[in-house]
Amino acid sequence: MNTSGKQYKTSELINERKKAILDTLGAGFLNLGNDGVGSYALSTGKQSLHAFYMERHLMFIKSVFENDLIPQLAEINGLALSEDDMPTLTFGEIDEPDLDVLSKVGQRLGSAGLIPKEKTLLLEFWKQFGLDTSALKDMSQEELFELLTPETSRAGESGGSSGTGGTQSGGASSSLNSDNAA
C-alpha cells in the first residue's frame, strides 16, 4: 500500500468550503470569530458588503416581479393596466444605521452650526435613532424647542469640530482623541 501521497485534513477542507460558500452568498461575516480571527472593523466591512449584496439581489427580484411576472399575469387574465396602475414591489430597510456614526455626524454638524433648528429635520433625525416621535408631530416648533435640553456642549468653541480644535490637549492631531487614534 502506497502512503506517500499528500495527506488532507478533512476539517480544513470543510472550513475552506464553508468560507467559500458564505463569501459567495455575501455572508462571510457570519463566520468571523469562529476560527479565533476577526475584528470589529472587518465585521463592519463585511456586513456592509452583505447589505450591498442583499440590496442588489432584492433589486433583481423587484425587476423580475415588475417587468415580467406582473405584466404576464395581467395579460393572461385579460387586464389592460396602464403603467401608472401597474403594481410595484417595495422592500424595507436592509441595514440599520450605525448609531455611533449618526450621533457623531449630528454632534459635529450641530457644533459647527450646520444644522438648521427646524422641527421636521429634528423629527427625522430622531427617527433615524429609532425614537418614537409621534407625540411630537402635533406640537408647534416653539413648543418642541422648549422641551429640548439646554445646549451645554463646548464642541466647536475653538474653531473646529471634534479633533480639529485648538484647545485640545496635544493639539489638533492629538492621539488622545479616540477618533484620531490609529
pLDDT digits (tens, 9 = 90+) for 93-109: 777 777 888 888 888 88
CA dist., res. 132 & res. 65, Å (int): 33
Whether 109 contacts 115, CB under 8 Å: yes
Q: Which domain does 55 fall in, by range?
A: 10-76
Say if 53 falls within a structural domain: yes
The arithmetic mean of pLDDT across residues 68-88, rounded, is 91
Do 15 and 58 lie in a common domain?
Answer: yes
Q: Mind listing the pLDDT tens digit for each residue in 18-65? A: 888 887 877 777 777 666 666 666 667 767 777 888 888 899 999 999
Give residue 78's pLDDT band: very low, low, confident or very high (50, 70, 90).
very high
Residue 41 counted as domain residue = yes
Q: How confident is the prediction for the chain on average, in pLDDT?
A: 79
Are 64 and 112 in the same domain? no
Backbone region of residue 137 per phi and psi (left: phi > 0; alpha: psi in -120 to 50; beta: other values): alpha
Residues 72 and 109 both lie in one domain: no
Per-residue pLDDT band at 74 (split at 50, 70, 90):
very high
20 lies in the same domain as 61: yes
Confidence of residue 69 (pLDDT cuts 50, 70, 90): very high
Q: Is residue 154 part of a domain?
A: no
pLDDT of 176 > 80? The answer is no
* Residue 153 CB-density burial (10 A; 0-12 exposed, 13-18 middle, 19+ buried): exposed
- pLDDT at site 66: 93
Q: Is residue 50 in some structural domain?
A: yes
- In this predicted structure, what is the pLDDT of residue 27? 76
Give the pLDDT confidence score for residue 111 in this predicted structure: 82
Each residue's pLDDT tens digit, 147-168: 888 877 776 666 555 555 555 5
- Look at residue 170 and tell me if it is in a domain: no
Q: Does residue 49 belong to any structural domain of this protein?
A: yes
Q: Which pairs with CB-CB distance under 8 Å and at least 24 residues apart come from 158-163?
A: 161/108, 161/111, 161/112, 162/104, 162/107, 162/108, 162/111
Q: What is the pTM of this model?
A: 0.46
Domain count, the chain: 2
Considering the domain boundaries, does residue 71 fall inside one?
yes
Same domain? 72 vs 14: yes
